[in-house]
C-alpha cells in the first residue's frame, strides 16, 4: 500500500487543493481531493488485467468548483430532495434554498463538495485511510446546529473502497450524507451504461410526485420496470411507459433496501460483461438512490478530454429516504443533539 500527495490547483478563492492517491498491492488506485472531499478517480482492472478509470470526473480543480452533476461528491447536510425547501423540527420551521423549482436538492449553498476539508492520513498494513473533516456551523445551508463531520475513505487490499460517515451536532438537526460518484465500468469515457446489468436487494421503492418528491407511499417492485431483484440490463425497461420512469426520464428513485440495518450488508451489484468488471455495494443505510444520469447535460471538460452526456454513468447513493424530515412514515433522518451519526458504505471491485 502506498499514498502520494500532489498539487491539484488553486481555487478561485485562493485555496490550495491537494490530490491524494492511494494504491494497493493489487494495483487498484483511488484519488481524492481535500477540496470538497471529492473522489477524483477509481482505477481498477478488467478481466484481462487492463486498468481503467471507471469514475466520471474532471481533469482539474476548476471543474470541481462548478461540478453541477456532483461527480465524486460528498453530499450533505441532507442529501436528495426536501419538499417545499422546508421542514419543521421541535416546533420551529426551517427554510432552505429553493434550488430545484420550489424544492431543495442536496441542501444548497455552500455545498459540501465545494468547501475545503482538514485531512488526516492513517496507514495500516492492509489499508490506507484518508479522513476529511470540517465544522458545518449553525444555520449553514439553513440547518440548525454546529455539526462536526468527517468522511473517511479507505482502500483495502481486497479492492474495497470503504466510506465511513461520522457526525455530531450540538442541536437536533437533519443529517443525511451520501456519495454521488458516477460509475461506468467500461471506463469513464466509454459512453452509455445501458448495457450494464444491475441487481438491487429491494422489494419496494418510494414513488414520487412529478417534481420527484416522495409521496410517502411504499410501492412493491413486483411486476414493474423497477424490479432489479434479478440481475437485469439497465436499458431493458428504462424507457417503458411507466409513470415513475416518465417522471424522472429514467431511473432516479429511492429503493427501500431489504436489510436488517444492524450490520453492513450487500445491497446492490453492477456488472459490465464486456470488461468483466463487477462492483458490489454494501451499506447499513435504509435506502439507496439508483440514478442513471438522465439529467446529465453534456459536460465537456471531463478527464482525458472526455465529454459526458445523458446516461453515461450510474449512481448508487446510499441514504435516508428523500424528504424523510417531512414524512413520518419514513425512517427518521433527525440527528439528536450529542447523538452520533455513523454509517458505512463499501464499493468492492472484482472481475468475472
From residue 70, how far is each of 39, 43, 107, 209 by CA, in Å?
10, 19, 13, 23
CA angle 16, 21, 27 (to 5 degrees): 165
158: helix, strand or coil: coil
180 is catalytic: yes
Provide the 8-state DSSP code for 284: -
Decide if 30 contacts 162 (C-beta within 8 A): no
Nearest to 245 by CA among 210, 216, 270, 217: 210
164-184 pLDDT tens trace: 999 999 999 999 999 999 999
Cross-strand bridge partners of residue 194: none
In order along its 352 residues, the chain shows pLDDT tens digits of 999 999 999 999 999 999 999 999 999 999 999 999 999 999 999 999 999 999 999 999 999 999 999 999 999 999 999 999 999 999 999 999 999 999 999 999 999 999 999 999 999 999 999 999 999 999 999 999 999 999 999 999 999 999 999 999 999 999 999 999 999 999 999 999 999 999 999 999 999 999 999 999 999 999 999 999 999 999 999 999 999 999 999 999 999 999 998 899 999 999 999 999 999 999 999 999 999 999 999 999 999 999 999 999 999 999 999 999 999 999 999 999 999 999 999 999 999 9
Residue 320's closest CA among 178, 182, 183? 178
- DSSP letter at 215 equals -
For 23, 27, 103, 269, the CA distances from 154, given in Å and listed in that order, are 11, 15, 34, 20
Q: Which helix (H) or strand (E) holds 44?
A: strand 38-45
The CA distance from 318 to 288, in Å, is 4
End-to-end CA distance of the chain: 24
Residue 234 has phi, psi (to 5 degrees) of: -55, -40
Sheet of strand 2-10, all strands in order from the earlier edge strand to the far edge: 2-10, 16-23, 29-33, 38-45, 51-53
Q: Which residues on adjacent β-strands are paired with residue 10?
A: 16
CA dihedral 199, 202, 204, 209 (to 10 degrees): -60
Marked catalytic residue, from 140, 196, 317, 320: 317
> Please, what is the Cα angle at 309 between 321 and 29, to 5 degrees?
75
- Decide if 150 contacts 133 (C-beta within 8 A): yes
CATH of domain 2-351: 2.70.98.10
User: Could you tell me if residue 85 is left (phi over 0), alpha (psi between -120 and 50 degrees) or otherwise beta?
Assistant: left
Torsion sign over Cα 329, 265, 152, 318? negative
Query: In the predicted model, what is the mean pLDDT of the chain?
Result: 97
Q: How confident is the model at residue 262, as a pLDDT?
A: 86
Domain boundaries, the chain: 2-351
Q: What is the Cα–Cα distance from 191 to 309, expressed in whole angstroms?
A: 8
Residue carrying C-alpha cell 478517480: 41
pTM of the predicted protein model:
0.98
* Annotated catalytic residue 196: no
Among 106, 180, 188, 320, the one annotated catalytic: 180
Amino acid at each position: 500500500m502506498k499514498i502520494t500527495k500532489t498539487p491539484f490547483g488553486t481555487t478561485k478563492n485562493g485555496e490550495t487543493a491537494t490530490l491524494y492517491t492511494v494504491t494497493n498491492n493489487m494495483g487498484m488506485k483511488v484519488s481524492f481531493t481535500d477540496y470538497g472531499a471529492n473522489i477524483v478517480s477509481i482505477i481498477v482492472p478488467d478481466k484481462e488485467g487492463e486498468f481503467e478509470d471507471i469514475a466520471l470526473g474532471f481533469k482539474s480543480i476548476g471543474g470541481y468548483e462548478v461540478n453541477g452533476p456532483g461527480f465524486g461528491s460528498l453530499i450533505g447536510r441532507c442529501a436528495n430532495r426536501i419538499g417545499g425547501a422546508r421542514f419543521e423540527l421541535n416546533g420551529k420551521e426551517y427554510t432552505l434554498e429553493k434550488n430545484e423549482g420550489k424544492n431543495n436538492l442536496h441542501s444548497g449553498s455552500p455545498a459540501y463538495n465545494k468547501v475545503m476539508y482538514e485531512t488526516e492520513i492513517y496507514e495500516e498494513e492492509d489499508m490506507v485511510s484518508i479522513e476529511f473533516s470540517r465544522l458545518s456551523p449553525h444555520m449553514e445551508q439553513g440547518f440548525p446546529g454546529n455539526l462536526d463531520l468527517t468522511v473517511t475513505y479507505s482502500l483495502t487490499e481486497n479492492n474495497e473502497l470503504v466510506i465511513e460517515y461520522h457526525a455530531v451536532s450540538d442541536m437536533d438537526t437533519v443529517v443525511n450524507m451520501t456519495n454521488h460518484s458516477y460509475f461506468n465500468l467500461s471506463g469513464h469515457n466509454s459512453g452509455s451504461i445501458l448495457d450494464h446489468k444491475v441487481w438491487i436487494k429491494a422489494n419496494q421503492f418510494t414513488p414520487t410526485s412529478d417534481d420527484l418528491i416522495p409521496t410517502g407511499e411504499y410501492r412493491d417492485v413486483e411486476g414493474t420496470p423497477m424490479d432489479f431483484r434479478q440481475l437485469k440490463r439497465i436499458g431493458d425497461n428504462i424507457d417503458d411507459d411507466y409513470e415513475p420512469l416518465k417522471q424522472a426520464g429514467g431511473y432516479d428513485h429511492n429503493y427501500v433496501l431489504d436489510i436488517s440495518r444492524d450490520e453492513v450488508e450487500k445491497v446492490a451489484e453492477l456488472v459490465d460483461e464486456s470488461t468483466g468488471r463487477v462492483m458490489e455495494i454494501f451499506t447499513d443505510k435504509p435506502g439507496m438512490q439508483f440514478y442513471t444520469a438522465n439529467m446529465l447535460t453534456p459536460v465537456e471538460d471531463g478527464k482525458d478530454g472526455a465529454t459526458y452526456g445523458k446516461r453515461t454513468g450510474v449512481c448508487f447513493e446510499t441514504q435516508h429516504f428523500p424528504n424523510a424530515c417531512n414524512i413520518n412514515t419514513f425512517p427518521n433522518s433527525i440527528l439528536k443533539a450529542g447523538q452520533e451519526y455513523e454509517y458505512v458504505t463499501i464499493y468492492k471491485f472484482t472481475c468475472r
